[in-house]
A and B are shown apart, each in its own frame.
Chain A
Amino acid sequence: MSGYFKEIIDGTHSLVAGMGVTIKYMVKPVVTMQYPRASVKMTARYRGHIDLVKDAETGESLCIVCGMCQKACPSGCISVAGEKPEGAKKKVLTSYRLDFTKCSLCGLCVESCKPGAITFSKDYNLAGLTKDEFIFDLKKRLEER
């Protein structure tokens, strides 16, 4: 019998305590950010799709067309092509295609690049209407920058 009344009183007390918590949070300021009026500052290491790094002196990419990134990628998204011009010692990059529809942002390509020619970009506002918009031509992107 006393357990019956104790349960009612404890139960009512727990309900009132719970309501006290929610009313406290109701008067606190909101914790959400009003996107797209305000946008998030990306952290330095955020993994967007990869981009070629511009060499400060020559303005070209640092890529030596070794193909390590192409071999390291588990999904087969990268296709690198290069040619060796007459009399030059090293290969020059002619095309760097990234199929972003398959990329899983694992970072194995960035890790495997010895000269550090590729890095993660900070692009997150990616929306497109066709699949082709997500096959990036990284050399063209480098030249446009």
Chain B
Amino acid sequence: MNHLASDMHKETFVLNMGPQHPATHGVLRVKLVLDGEYIVEAEPVLGYIHRMHEKMGENRTWAQFMPNTGRLDYLSALSYNHGYVAAVERAAGIEVPERAEVIRVMTVELNRISSHLLWFGAYLLDLGGFTPLLYAFDDREQILDLLESVTGSRLTYCYFRFGGLYNDIDDDFIAGLKGFVERLRSRLPMYHTLVTKNIILMKRLKDIGVVSADMCRRYGATGPVARGSGIDYDVRKNEPYSVYPEFDFDVPVYHEGDSMARYMVRMDEIEQSLRIIEQAIAKLPEGPIMAEKAPKIIKPAKGDYYHAVEAARGSFGVRLVSDGTNTPYRLKLRSPSFCNLSLFAEASQGMLVADAVAFMGSLDLVIPEIDR
């Protein structure tokens, strides 16, 4: 007997948007209790890709933890490099030369653009539009080629070091970067014509997944999710670090709180990152890329330190507890996607499954950084 028929006396049934699903952007399992097509209850189940990064932090020296930072959120690995390195530099009191800081900002913003481009393509793929993914990847290839010529890696970078950088950049990189900025600026209107102004997309994103500012505060959502709900908080402006205070850029904030607002925040962020890159190229000073007084073996003083950076998905925080030895005592990583995902359970009640997929895509989750 068809087991669906036996469920008929109950109104709801349980559907697993399982660990393997094209739209959950990683191994995320969401237990949905559905009433027909409407979601009554949604429960994300995590842990399918828990790799114990925080425990590894306790067993490796400060320098040996660097490759792990690139594997947390592999799409914006340089921001995570930056967060960890800045936290240790704050703990050990190392000064970074200005050239290194400016190059750090340049590469981090490039990485932010590549992360947003991939989000854009994957989001539209979830919604059924297959072509913008490949256009976005075409642009992203250029970024990856540029960053490969500097760091040697395409995705999981391990480029920053305590006190500066691993390699210096050369003139080819600057020339390539200028060409890229021009090319992407000329392609952005095409994205808006093909996707943003499309009536089908607007119907799919407007008023879907409305998240109020109060809800964002309760769950600790940061990044484009919070900025799409009207909270004007960007770690680069509110808790300034590195040389960001010297750059002139806007923080896009939209107040509607629906998926369209979050989409527009990220598209505007791409433009702002292009602005920052241009300013960084203009103000790149000469000088060393590594601090002279950076010790070979780092041993920060005993204490409890915290540093947050603005990754592509929100505020990434690193909390170090050092006991004076050459391995951390405790290394806590605050990943933005974890808090963004926690919005899903409350906000998805009463939604259609298709709208829930659109909502999850607009949160821009990367599951490996949730599970660490």
Task: List chain A positions with a Cβ less than 8 A from chain B.
Answer: 7, 10-11, 14-15, 17-18, 20-22, 25, 31, 43-47, 72-74, 104-108, 111, 120
Contacts and interface: CB of A to CB of B under 8 A. Distances in A.
A45 B65 contact: no
Interface stretch (B35-43, B85-93, B189-197, B260-268): B189-197
Contacts of B135: 25
Contacts of A22: 131, 194
Nearest to B135: A25
B138 interface: yes
Given A45-B167, A105-B153, A107-B166, A11 B199 contact: yes
Contacts of B138: 31
Contact of B158 (A7, A11, A15, A106): A106
Contact of B152 (A72, A108, A120): A120
Interface in B180-209: 190, 193-195, 197-200
A74 B65 contact: yes
Interface residues of B, number: 31
Given A14-B199, A21-B193, 7 more contacts: A11-B199, A15-B199, A18-B194, A18-B195, A74-B65, A106-B158, A108-B67
A17 B193 contact: yes
Nearest to A111: B166
A36 B131 CA distance: 24
Interface in B43-74: 60, 63-68, 71
A48 to B, nearest CB: 9
Contact of A74 (B64, B131, B151, B161): B64
Nearest to B64: A74
Interface in B111-163: 131, 135, 138, 145, 148-153, 156, 158, 161
B198 A14 contact: yes
A46 B148 contact: yes
Given A15-B199, A22-B131, A105-B158, A43 B149 contact: yes
Nearest to A120: B152
B175 to A, nearest CB: 15
Contacts of B63: 72, 108
Contacts, number: 70
Contacts of B199: 7, 10-11, 14-15
A45 B68 CA distance: 21
Nearest to B63: A108
28 contacts: A15-B198, A15-B200, A17-B197, A18-B193, A20-B193, A21-B190, A21-B193, A25-B131, A25-B135, A43-B145, A43-B148, A44-B149, A45-B148, A45-B150, A45-B152, A45-B167, A46-B148, A47-B153, A104-B67, A104-B71, A104-B156, A105-B67, A106-B67, A107-B158, A108-B63, A108-B66, A111-B166, A120-B152
A72 B64 contact: yes
A47 B166 CA distance: 13
- From A15, A72, A73, A108, residue with most partner B Cβ within 10 Å: A108
Contacts of A104: 67, 71, 156, 158
A43 B149 CA distance: 6
- From B190, B195, B197, residue with most partner A Cβ within 10 Å: B197
B198 A108 contact: no
B173 to A, nearest CB: 10
A18 B198 contact: yes
A46 B152 CA distance: 4
Contacts of A14: 197-199
Nearest to B61: A74
A47 B194 contact: no
A2 B141 CA distance: 45
- From A46, A72, A120, residue with most partner B Cβ within 10 Å: A46
Contacts of B167: 45
Contacts of A10: 199
A49 to B, nearest CB: 12
A39 to B, nearest CB: 15
Nearest to B131: A22
Closest 5 CB pairs of A and B: A11-B199, A74-B64, A106-B67, A47-B152, A45-B152
Contacts of B148: 43, 45-46
Contacts of A74: 60, 64-68
B51 to A, nearest CB: 12
B129 to A, nearest CB: 9
A45 B67 contact: no
Contacts of B71: 104
Nearest to A68: B296
A106 B148 CA distance: 14
